Amino acid sequence: MLTRDIWEAGGENVATKGEVIWAQLSAKFGQALEAYSPGIAGQSRQQIAGVRNLVRELFDVETGDGMAKAAAAGWKAAEKEGSDRILAAGRNVPLAEEWRLPQFWDTLRVRAFTREEFKADFAAELDRGALTLWDRDTGAPAKAEGRRVRTHRHHALQRRPVRRS
């Protein structure tokens, strides 16, 4: 079933299954979610530093922050289990070995810039090493002279959400 079981037939539905899987995966780093969750006054400097340390630990940089190390281990365990699940379900695209954090493109944010501004900013981030552009044909980082930033901007623009009235 794709939606709520309003007839109470007793079968699984997609929404509930997704919630159950998310609960199972997030339980692997639940202690960190609680530790880094904002309180009534927002996030403390210590929490923000902890989240930054978590990201560093994900990239195998020793920070000396025990909570960040435990959170990173939990995140990696959840990522592995999630990856294993989608492969077992039949995903036919290879997983990136260096994937650690979700990267998103908000099309509304992307569309706020001209094509040339986006290309220039994207290229600047590539040049300073903040991003790696992968060549789909070779599976290796693209060489500077062969980069096609236009393709990525075009792809991001093509994924605009459909507005219905």
pLDDT of residue 10: 65
Distance in angstroms (rounded) separating the CA atoms of residues 121 and 126: 9
pLDDT of residue 62: 94
Tokens of 106: 């908000």
pLDDT of residue 20: 87
Angle, vertex CA 142, rays to CA 136 and CA 145, nearest 5: 130
Distance in angstroms (rounded) separating the CA atoms of residues 35 and 67: 8
Tokens of 100: 């650690």
pTM here is 0.54
What are the φ and ψ backbone dihedral angles of 141, each rounded to 5 degrees?
-60, 140
Residue 164 three-state SS: coil
Instruction: Confirm if 69 and 55 have CB atoms less than 8 A apart.
Output: no
Distance in angstroms (rounded) separating the CA atoms of residues 134 and 141: 4
pLDDT beneath 70: ranges in the chain = 1-12, 92-100, 102-109, 136, 143-165
Neighbouring C-beta atoms of residue 12, cutoff 10 Å: 10
